[in-house]
Amino acid sequence: MSPTIEDRDIIISSNIFYSPERNDIVLFRDESGFDVVKRIIALPNQTIEMKEGTVIVDGDPIDENFVTGMPNDMEETVVDEDAYFVMGDNRTPGESLDSRSPDIGSIEEGRIKGEFLISAFPFFKTM
């Protein structure tokens, strides 16, 4: 999630009254049991593709002033029902293991543990 969240940041998340939305930074558990932090890019049943570094959701390019790197192109795909398409903020190929990888894919809502609220260390910053 660099540059938004750095290595060794201690983060606080919450799942109280939480309903996932686009651009939320969420904490979820991966298949190996590790907690992972990524940003929601597309919601259930939306289409997503990437062309020339631009992420396109439901045919419209989205504004992402928080990312670094240039992602590879990706064919249009439909996000699974009751799932979310998540990506790291560092879009350089190979830097973020996220929904672009067939090994990860869409994240089911039940796997989302909460929304990122604040980084408590090394200093307080909110998203």
List, in order of start, the domains of the chain with CATH numbers. 10-119 (2.10.109.10)
Lowest mean pLDDT among 5-14, 53-62, 71-80, 89-98: 5-14
Q: Write the pLDDT tens digit of every residue in 63-109.
A: 988 888 888 999 999 999 999 999 998 888 888 889 998 888 999 99
Instruction: Please calculate the CA angle 73-104-48 and round it to the nearest 5 degrees.
Output: 40
pTM strictly above 0.85: no
pLDDT higher than 80, residue 118: no
